[in-house]
Amino acid sequence: MSKQGCLIKRLSFLFTQIFFVGLFSPIVVCGQSLLTSFAPGDAIRLQIWQPWRITEGKAEIQDLNGDYAVNSQGYTILPLIGEVKVVGLNQKTLAVNLKDKYSPFIKDPYIMVTPLIRVTLQGSVNRPGAYLIPPTASLWEVVEMASGPTQNADLKKMRSERGGRVVSKSLLRSFEKGYSLQEIGILSGDQIIIPGKNKFTYRDVLVLATFGLQVGLFYLRVSE
């Protein structure tokens, strides 16, 4: 099968799924509950399709699709339509608004909206920092975005914090089971912290105790 044929087959399968889920609705909402509102610092993942162009292999409009950050005033800037208010809108409302705004430029647009929340990874990961990721992603995927844990990482003590307060003391089971951030209760702005293993072993304690004893004996001899 040719490359174009494979693409058409994949797109046909995708829109078959969308048909059964959305029943020809021009809006698809992915991720959290429809009641979820966007917040400054979050982002949206926008995908715009034209199902009637499947046979041309041009159903997905690549130039418009992408991840767009929400600024501190609650707006995001999107191609063609410019600044759009996001804060205070849930996913369905936002998708409806975007369909109305893009309709003058794109014939029969099919809008897909996915929320991206902001999660910070700290501690023993190879690339600590803030990441934007769908709430349906697993904890394992978040750690993988940070290039995985370091060799010294103590996954048994992996925890989440919110505003300096510990929310979950142990995330190891959630990590192993592949639970999503949404299932774990991770919210936008939360920190996931993976501490390093304590390298202070029993042998180190024994060496220090022996050294302390020797120092004590030395001072006793001097004082005599």
Q: Give me the pLDDT at residue 127, please.
A: 95
Supply 66's token pair.
């992408």
Q: What is the pLDDT of residue 62?
A: 65
- Token pair belonging to 156: 């048994």
The reported pLDDT for the residue numbered 36 is 61
Asked if residues 142 and 209 have their Cβ atoms less than 8 Å apart, the reply is no
Q: Could you tell me where in the chain the CATH 3.30.1950.10 domains are found?
A: 3-116
Report pLDDT for 98.
93
When computed from its CA atoms, the radius of gyration of the chain, rounded to whole angstroms, is: 26
Per-residue model confidence (pLDDT) at position 16 = 43
- Determine the pLDDT at residue 211: 55
Say if CB 142 and CB 131 are below 8 A apart.
Answer: yes
Please tell me the distance from the alpha carbon of residue 24 to that of residue 51, in angstroms, as a whole number.
Answer: 10
Q: How far apart, in whole angstroms, are the C-alpha atoms of residue 57 and residue 53?
A: 7
This prediction's pTM = 0.68
Strands 191-194 and 159-162: antiparallel
Q: Residue 58: what residue type?
A: K
Q: Pairing between strand 27-29 and 75-78? A: unpaired
pLDDT of residue 128: 95
C-alpha separations of 74 from 26, 44, 68, 85, 88 in Å? 25, 12, 12, 6, 8
What integer pLDDT is reported at residue 125 of this predicted model? 94
* Burial group, residue 223, by CB count within 10 angstroms (0-12, 13-18, 19+): exposed
Q: What is the pLDDT of residue 34?
A: 42
pLDDT confidence of residue 21:
37
- What would the CATH number be for the domain defined by 3-116? 3.30.1950.10
What's the DSSP call for residue 218? H
Which amino acid makes up residue 208? Answer: L
- By the 8 A CB rule, do 65 and 48 touch? yes
Q: What is the pLDDT along the chain (224 residues), one digit of tens a residue?
A: 554 554 444 445 444 444 433 433 444 444 444 446 788 889 999 988 876 555 555 555 667 889 999 999 999 999 999 999 999 888 888 999 999 999 888 888 888 898 999 999 999 999 999 999 999 999 999 999 999 999 999 999 999 999 999 999 889 888 888 899 989 999 999 999 999 987 655 565 565 566 566 655 545 665 66
